[in-house]
Amino acid sequence: MKKEEFSSIRRRLGKTQRELAEFLGVSIKAVHSYEQGWRKIPGHVERQLLYLLLKKETGEEEIQPCWIVKHCPPERREGCPAWEFKSGDLCWFINGTICEGFPRKNWDEKMQTCRSCKMLTTRITCGW
């Protein structure tokens, strides 16, 4: 996540830097550093920030699970954590999902895939 995305999401959430720091469980200095680009935004912070934005902007609408939207074959979905935990609406949030045929090695790699996937991009627009 880029510093501009981080700042934009904080503003969309309607939070000050101090308030966001409390939500994320980090120091206000960390939030300052993320917004200035002095520190890389860790995956767990990015994940929580996107989750908060998703909950604020999409409400409780019914979302089809990813395995239906992405037309995953049974053998793929049955090995996927999103299927196992019945969280097809939060596939982008869960590490180890089998998107496009294989799990990604780390959060950064996973988010490269998720940033172009409609399971995330149709629900929140982050200017990616």
Structural domains in the chain, CATH included, are 3-58 (1.10.260.40), 66-121 (no CATH)
Q: What's the pLDDT at 37?
A: 95
Q: What's the pLDDT at 17?
A: 96
Q: Are 52 and 43 in contact (CB under 8 A)?
A: no
pTM for this prediction:
0.76
Q: What's the pLDDT at 126?
A: 53
Q: Which residues of the chain have pLDDT under 50?
A: 128
Provide φ and ψ at 41, rounded to 5°: -80, 115
Q: What's the pLDDT at 96?
A: 87
Q: Which amino acid is at 17?
A: Q
26: left (phi over 0), alpha (psi -120 to 50) or beta: beta
For the chain, the maximum distance between any two Cα atoms, rounded to a whole number of angstroms, is 46
Q: What's the pLDDT at 61?
A: 67
